[in-house]
């Protein structure tokens, strides 16, 4: 299958924002008098909605506290998130090559859209990825397929012309729910064998195989 577009998740797929995410989570917890979470547990929550991140890390189902956590997280994120981001190995080279080859590029993420725009500006690639849908652009976040389906419409493509790439089971679920081909990359906290039940077209250690994958 020859794909006309590649849509990426962001965190641990294209970039590493670990330091910023850990800072935001634990700053919020400090303000709420909650014990700080470990880096490893926070990594496992990346890709979840912020309320679900709260529930996952605290095992507390209180919706009011989850909303408070989201508010505190966002305040801190405005200060530290964009400047904490770094491209994962080979990610920049891959997206540059795909762009050069005429492949449409997009990002569907649980981060806010303006945060992604700021990150690419700091990475000296302003406007490089034309299509970005974040948590603030949808009514239902991943794994609901709303954002992915909307982006395919924006690109004026068919589902079978699009490949979605992500590092988590949230991403795998999103692609499955949208009826879109999925390729997994193990640069996050999810192990290769955990993806098998979703039947990805490929499980990669980094993004380099994507260049040949889109031309299959």
Q: Is the same domain home to 90 and 79? A: no
- Number of domain units in the chain: 2
Check: pTM over 0.85? Answer yes or no: yes
Q: Is the same domain home to 127 and 186? A: yes
Q: Residue 158 belongs to a domain with what CATH number?
A: 3.40.50.1000
Q: Which 3 state secondary structure label does DSSP give 158?
A: coil
CA distances from 139 to 49, 120, 134, 165 (A): 12, 24, 10, 22
From 57, 84, 111, give the residue that closes a domain: 84
Q: Is the same domain home to 73 and 91? A: no
Q: Is the same domain home to 53 and 94? A: no
Q: Residue 48 belongs to a domain with what CATH number?
A: 1.10.150.240
The pLDDT confidence band at residue 1, using thresholds 50, 70 and 90, is low
For the chain, strand residue ranges (E) read: 5-8, 15-16, 86-87, 104-108, 131-133, 162-166, 181-185, 202-204
- How many angstroms separate the CA atoms of 10 and 73, rounded? 18
pLDDT in tens, 171-182: 999 999 999 999
Q: Which residues contact 120 (CB under 8 A, 6 or more apart)?
A: 126, 127, 128, 129
pLDDT in tens, 63-110: 999 999 999 999 999 999 999 999 999 999 999 999 999 999 999 999
pLDDT at 170 over 70: yes
Interaxial angle between packed helices 63-84 and 18-31, expressed in degrees from 0 to 180 and rounded to the nearest 10 = 140
From 84, 105, 137, give the residue that closes a domain: 84
- Residue 32's domain comprises 18-84
Q: Is the same domain home to 103 and 76? A: no
Q: Which 3 state secondary structure label does DSSP give 13?
A: coil
């Amino acid at each position: 299958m020859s794909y006309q577009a590649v849509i990426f998740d962001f965190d641990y797929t294209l970039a590493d924002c670990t330091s910023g995410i850990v800072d935001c989570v634990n700053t919020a917890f400090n303000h709420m008098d909650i014990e700080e979470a470990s880096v490893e547990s926070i990594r496992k929550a990346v890709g979840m909605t912020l309320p679900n991140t709260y529930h996952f890390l605290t095992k507390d189902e209180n919706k009011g506290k989850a909303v408070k956590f989201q508010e505190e997280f966002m305040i801190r994120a405005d200060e530290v998130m964009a400047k904490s981001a770094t491209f994962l190995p080979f990610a920049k080279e891959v997206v540059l090559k795909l762009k050069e080859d005429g492949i449409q590029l997009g990002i569907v993420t649980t981060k806010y859209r303006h945060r992604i725009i700021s990150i690419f500006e700091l990475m000296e690639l302003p406007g490089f990825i034309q299509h970005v849908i974040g948590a603030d652009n949808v009514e239902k976040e991943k794994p609901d397929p709303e954002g992915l389906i909307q982006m395919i419409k924006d690109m004026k493509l068919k589902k079978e012309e699009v490949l979605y790439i992500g590092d988590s089971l949230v991403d795998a679920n999103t692609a499955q729910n949208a009826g879109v081909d999925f390729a997994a990359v193990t640069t996050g906290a999810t192990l290769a064998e955990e993806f098998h039940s979703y039947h990805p077209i490929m499980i990669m250690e980094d993004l380099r195989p994507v260049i040949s994958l889109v031309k299959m």
